[in-house]
Structure 1
Amino acid sequence: MELLTALRTHRIVAIVRGADADAALRTVIALAEEGLPLIEVSLSGQDALGVIRRARAALGPDAPLGAGTVLTAQDAQAVRDAGADFVVTPAVCEGVTEAKRLGLPVLAGVMTPSDVVAAQRLGADAYKLFPAAQAGGPGYLKALRGPFPGLPFVPVGGVDAEAARDYLARGATAVGVGSPLIGDAADGGSTDALRERTRAFLDAVRLPSDAVRTSPDAGR
């Protein structure tokens, strides 16, 4: 898949990490049905590989489906075999190297300028600024883009709808959102509430031109 194109188009990655594998699968499907196609299933969740396999079967071969918390070469191999077509790491690690060797695009976890340079050397496709809130929030993203103005950054960690707007306004390519979006849905909570939150986040990250195209008065 063209990860960078997808990030620029959709501007949000949902991070699913659940204590209930069946609920996590329902969460993935509900997100996709609500029009949020970039979804990462974290390996730190219950039976994550099984969730990825079942989600791939449910969503079909062409839907984007990522695997997160990929740390080792074995992790990268396992998620590829389960059906993931992009990889997300929390750091610059062996998972980046092996995923690239396998032909999978990588959103690599970085926090410092040194991390960014190291991830560049390994061929990262985009850069997950993590943990973004603890690093300094949108102000830190703005500072980091000074020496790296052309790189695609995706802040993750403590990103609610308001912060998502702020990060995107400061030049983020997309944002990664976990608990503020997922809530308790992946642990067995309400998918109806999840769907409402999904619509709110999609509104938050929508480009102004998208709003014009979807307006009832557009084209009159």
Structure 2
Amino acid sequence: MVGVLGGHRVVPVVVLDDPGRADDLGAALVAGGLPVAEATFRTPEAAAVLRRLAGRSDLLVGAGTVITAAQVDLAHDAGARFVVSPGLSAAVVRRCQELDLPVFPGVSTPTEVIAALDLGLEAVKFFPAEANGGLATIKALSAAFPQVRFVPTGGITADSAPAYLAHRAVAAVGGSWMVAPDLLASGRWDEVTARCAATVAACRPDTPIPQGAPT
């Protein structure tokens, strides 16, 4: 299922309430070499933003903060290529499976990982990552569940992302440092592009593993 991310190991988590800015945002992400986004369902205009972003042929877009089966339908209709949820809802997962839509539900405990496995999933969101012990917890969970891949999100920064990605159980990370709300609100698209480019450079597969990173 992680193949849906197309090899992109950093997913910008977008909170945008103005669909009119979606085209500029999409262009900035592509220019920065990070043509992927998780458009969150945290604003009234989320579906419209998602639809605008998904309309670009050069951008891979999913829906985030999806917590109901009805929102799965909205996301699918708007063109989402994958769904991300902050928690593990069987209703959300099953609706995504009915639509053949890859889904990454949020987990933070062994019990939730087992519930995800019971639903036929082997890739999950680890959320909120930093508040739940970060890499140390991922290391512990991956020892018990070696078949599971994690996409940690929540509190991850440009500085900490490479260490997460150095862990064999981490498929990708999600973060908002390159699409911070103040940048989007003020239309600082050049800064978005610059931060995306810096992120791509810092998270290249050939980048040296940070000192002390688990493997």
Q: Report SS of the residue matched to 1:160.
A: coil
Out of 115, 128, 132, the position equivalent to 1:131 is 128
Deviations 1:2-59 (A, max 9, x none): x4124472211111112333234422331123221221100113401111111222x1
Provide the C-alpha distance between the structure 1 equivalents of 2:190 and 2:154, rounded to a whole number of angstroms. Answer: 24
**1:64 and 2:60 matched:** yes
Provide the C-alpha distance between the structure 1 equivalents of 2:72 and 2:173, rounded to a whole number of angstroms. Answer: 22
**1:78 and 2:77 matched:** no
Alignment of 1:110-149 (within 5 A): 110-124=107-121, 126-149=123-146
More helix by share: 1
Q: TM-score, normalised by structure 1?
A: 0.85
Deviation at residue 125 of structure 1 after TM alignment: 5.3
- For 2:29, the equivalent position in structure 1 comes to 31
Provide the C-alpha distance between the structure 1 equivalents of 2:122 and 2:186, rounded to a whole number of angstroms. Answer: 33
Amino acid across the alignment from 2:206: P
Deviations 1:150-196 (A, max 9, x none): 21101101111221111112221111112x22122332341111111
Greater displacement, 73-82 / 7-16 = 7-16
- For 1:192, the equivalent position in structure 2 comes to 190
8 Å CA contact 1:164, 1:175 repeated in 2: yes
Provide the C-alpha distance between the structure 2 equivalents of 1:63 and 1:200, rounded to a whole number of angstroms. Answer: 19
Deviations 1:56-78 (A, max 9, x none): 22x12x74210011111100011
Sequence identity percentage: 39
Q: Unmatched 5+ residue regions in structure 1?
A: 210-220
Amino acid across the alignment from 2:26: V
- For 2:213, the equivalent position in structure 1 comes to none
Q: Report SS of the residue matched to 2:95.
A: helix
Number of aligned pairs? 205
Alignment of 1:167-186 (within 5 A): 167-171=164-168, 172-178=170-176, 180-183=177-180, 184-186=182-184
Q: TM-score, normalised by structure 2?
A: 0.87
8 Å CA contact 1:24, 1:187 repeated in 2: no
Misfit runs of 4+, over 6 Å: none
8 Å CA contact 1:13, 1:175 repeated in 2: yes
8 Å CA contact 1:18, 1:46 repeated in 2: no
Amino acid across the alignment from 2:162: R
The CA RMSD measured in Å over matched residues stands at: 2.0
Q: Report SS of the residue matched to 1:71.
A: coil
Deviations 1:104-127 (A, max 9, x none): 001111111111111222233521
Greater displacement, 155-164 / 16-25 = 16-25
